[in-house]
Amino acid sequence: MNDSGIELRPKQDPLSPEQRRSVMQNLGFGRVFTEHMVTLRYRAESGWDDGVLEPYAPLTLDPASSVLHYGQAIFEGFKAYRQKDGHIASFRPDANARRFNASAKRLSMPELPVERFVLASDVLIRKEQDWVPPELGESLYLRPLMIATEAALGVRPAKEYLFLVFGSPSASYFAQGIKPLSVWLCKEYVRAAEGGTGEAKCAGNYAASLAAQQAAAEQGCQQVIWLDAKERRYVEEMGGMNLFFVYDDGGKTRLVTPKLTGSLLAGITRDSILKLAPELGYTAEEKLISIEDWQRDLENGSLREVFACGTAAVITPIGTVKYEGGSLAIGGAEQSSVAMALRERLLSIQHGVTPDKHGWMHRVL
Ligand SMILES: Cc1ncc(COP(=O)(O)O)c(C=O)c1O
């Protein structure tokens, strides 16, 4: 036990520093996992237990566990960064905890109090502190999740759940240099409809997106741009990132991001950019953006950049958009000065280089 109430049952034979360094040599994203995880279990009669820090290991699930049949599964993603002064801090974990609970509510799963979510992650990060890489843009990515574990085949909310958080050290998305994305405007499939689960971070949304992701790959694109389900006109988001459009209004920079209609995820990076924009002299607004607006504004020259944002990549420019019967070039890395300025500002806050005026950084160690 420690003062968090979480029982500590660490691995008896952790990797040596040399072994760890060797595992961390070629990080990429989401390929290397650290040695521990924190688990909490929920029962309808007694609520959440205190939780355990234990070795990272495969789970044992009853074949009748409801998650395997009816998909009560939600997750989150946020990062812990090595600070300029050597400490470690995570970026807005409370915001992820709140979004986790909003997802839980939508899927009729129990909420986990924000402070328990943050504590569980802190206990893990402290244990895995040597797995937090040091360079700018590198981080320890945290993956909290919750699944329904009750063995029961009736279609109803389960009475037992597992919360788990594990870590994955990740490289800077731009380790190999900035490569603007090419994206596919998807008209064949929809990601989410009004009243559906689009604003929840539930596993099923991602399973349903894979066919479109494959279609995008066949067109030579790395990502899908989702349109609204009803008119297939309004731009919503990408598979795992929100979108920003950068306008030049006679020398003034204006950022526009698709409005939260209930069918897209309220990204925490998106929210951070909306708050940072005025500090960099940009105005920012949330509104509906149609593909016709996009095409027209590129043609008349007022739309200068389009970029994607999310925890994994932070900010990444979009260079080309393809659609059935055509494509539009937006610009290369050199044309993406607004995206890159925002990325630099955000990363420098995340690494404790620029003062954290918004109180976003949560010091862990
Ligand atoms: C569908 C979707 N949209 C947007 C985002 C970006 O959200 P955030 O900035 O909180 O990572 C994510 C990633 O979490 C996502 O999965």
Per residue in 15-64, pLDDT (tens digit) is 999 999 999 998 989 999 999 999 999 999 999 999 999 999 999 999 99
Say if CB 112 and CB 101 are below 8 A apart: yes
pLDDT value of position 75: 98
Among protein residues, the one whose CA lies closest to atom 13 of ligand 1 = 240
What's the pLDDT at 172? 85
- Which of 223, 220, 248, 252 has its CA nearest to residue 238? 223
Report which of 166, 93, 174 is spatially closest to residue 136, judged by C-alpha positions: 174
Backbone angles phi, psi at 48, to 5 degrees: -75, 140
Q: Domain map of the chain by residue range?
A: 7-170, 181-350
With a cut of 70, which residues of the chain have pLDDT below it?
Answer: 1-2, 332-333
Q: For position 25, what pLDDT does the model report?
A: 93
What's the CATH architecture for 181-350? Alpha-Beta Barrel (3.20)
Ligand 1 atom with the smallest distance to the CA of 76 is 14
The second-level CATH assignment, the architecture, of 7-170 is 2-Layer Sandwich (3.30)
Residue 335 pLDDT: 78
End-to-end Cα separation, the chain, in angstroms: 18
Q: Quick one: which of 124, 120, 142, 100 has its CA closest to 51? A: 120
The answer to whether 173 touches 137, Cβ cutoff 8 Å, is yes
276's CB contacts (< 8 A; 6+ apart) are 342, 345, 346
Give the per-residue pLDDT at 177. Answer: 75
Counting ligand 1 atoms within 8 A of each CB, the residue from 241, 264, 273, 307 with the most, and so the one to mutate, is 241
Question: Hey, which residues does 74 pair with through a beta bridge?
Answer: 146, 202
Nearest one of 41, 49, 37 to 147, comparing CA atoms: 41
Q: Residue 197 in contact with residue 107, Cβ under 8 Å?
A: yes
Mutate to test the pocket of ligand 1, among 100, 223, 265, 314 (most ligand atoms within 8 A of CB): 265
Residues near 306 by Cβ (< 8 Å), separated by ≥ 6? 243, 244, 245, 246, 294, 317, 318, 321, 330
Write the pLDDT tens digit of every residue in 355-365: 999 999 999 99
Q: How far is the CA of 239 from the centre of ligand 1 (A)?
A: 8
CB 147 within 8 A of CB 65: yes
Which percentage of the chain shows pLDDT scores above 70? Answer: 98
Integer angstrom CA distances of residue 62 from 68, 161, 244: 9, 12, 43
Which residue's C-alpha comes closest to atom 12 of ligand 1? 240
